[in-house]
A = this chain, B = another copy of it.
Amino acid sequence: MTYSYGVQTETIVALATPQGVGAIAVIRLSGPDAIRLANKVFFGANLEKQATHTIHFGTIRDGEQIVDEVLASVFKAPTSFTKENVVEISTHGSSYIVNRVIKLLIRMGARPARPGEFTLRAFLNGQFDLAQAEAVADLIHSDSETSHQAAMNQMRGGFSQEIKSLREQLIHFASMIELELDFTEEDVEFVSRAELRVLVEKLLRVIDQLISSFDLGNVIKNGVPTVIAGKPNAGKSTLLNALLNEEKAIVSEIAGTTRDFIEDEINIGGMMFRFIDTAGLRETTDTIEAIGVSRTQEKMKTASLILYLFDLGDTDMVEINRDINKLENLGVPFLKVANKVDKANTQFIKQLSTIHPDTIFISAGQKENLDLLKDRIMELVNLDKFRTGNTVVTNIRHYDSLTRTRESLLDVLTGLDNEVTNDFVAMDIRRSLHYLGEITGEITTDDLLANIFSKFCIGK
């Protein structure tokens, strides 16, 4: 429960905003000397004499030379992100200037920050627990409403509260049992074994629930795995582009905030859908036939959703029925999507509607009925379950710790079944406590911290 990371005596510096050309860039300094070091190169107000949370206009100078006109924001310990003294220098957004200013501050005594070091310090100084610190990284990488909400909930401590409450109940047991150990000669019992069993079982139910939420959490974080099954000419890429472009259009309304999209990830109604590359499927003329090929079948089985896309002008009822039959056997939720409705004959549409009334008729090229398709997609994945206020495990490290906690608690139950002595029961409870504590950081090791924070970007 000790952090050998120790007291932070060094002042660290890094660019906090993304690389690249922009109007401004923000350089962040944190540590006991942050204000003093910034003041050495900042000309304007004396930063050491300013109140916390104030902004000052001035110049950064390298000797006689003016490097930039900047704004310096002063935050005094402990009322900053890291709980240390912090100065944020807002420069013109040139990488040349950013480099000059950072080099200058290093010459004055600052040290380049390691990845995640600002957040690490915030954690070490008690700004938040480990699960919350991890949520900061998730928040930065969130790209949909659901992943954003899960990260925000975790950052604000929702998940931590749940873990903390579980842990407190366990600590209560542990202390009772360990107290009994002290009186072992006297054969007293502070908690009944039956009572202990009931409570461990209750804890196990909560932990099982958290563990099983990880599937959901994984989908929230990485997107709903989706496959478009269809012959090459069915219009797969036209459909993908139509869904993608609509999203792009919404985003680019806000000029300058357009972001680069990974072509195969599409945000539909606040949920990210990750389109699985079924490249193998493209090589055969009859796509659904290819389901027979085991590799392809495996890929399709990992999907949470299949869009069965067919060209109305190029598919007969026999083929459609056969494909749908195969998909039903696969056991993955799927939608029947009839494309090129603008070019189809009315008779065939009528026939299809009768046999498969749940068919969605679209034109990917003409962007017809795409909203209907999206509505159906959202119904099928039941977006509501992603919007629940329930705690969802999104982090594989937390999932691992929960799984180990579960194993230790099962050991407690086995011990009770076999009427083992108190010291064995106490040991298993302590092990459970250890694993739960790893999640929020009550229990840490340097390796664990290094592993978590090295995945952060620099400047965070």
Interface residues of A (CB under 8 A from B): 14-26, 28, 53-56, 65-69, 73, 75, 90, 92-100, 102-103, 106, 112-115, 118, 136, 139-145, 147-149, 152, 155-156, 251, 253-259, 457-460
Contacts and interface: CB of A to CB of B under 8 A. Distances in A.
A17 B22 contact: yes
A38 to B, nearest CB: 15
Contacts of A56: 53
A148 B23 contact: no
A458 B256 contact: yes
B259 A457 contact: no
Contacts of A257: 14-15, 19, 95, 98-99, 102
A438 to B, nearest CB: 25
Copies of this chain, whole number: 2
Contact of A95 (B26, B100, B115, B143): B143
Contacts of A458: 255-256
A112 B55 contact: no
Contacts of A258: 19
Given A23-B118, A92-B136, A251-B99, A256 B14 contact: yes
A235 to B, nearest CB: 29
Contacts of A95: 143, 257, 259
A73 B53 CA distance: 9
10 contacts: A15-B256, A17-B23, A23-B459, A53-B54, A55-B55, A55-B73, A68-B139, A94-B143, A96-B142, A96-B144
Contact of A23 (B140, B143, B149, B251): B140
A28 B23 contact: yes
B17 A26 contact: yes
Contact of A93 (B18, B75, B102): B18
Contacts of A21: 18, 140-141, 457
A334 to B, nearest CB: 29
Given A18-B19, A22-B457, 5 more contacts: A16-B23, A17-B18, A18-B93, A66-B152, A102-B257
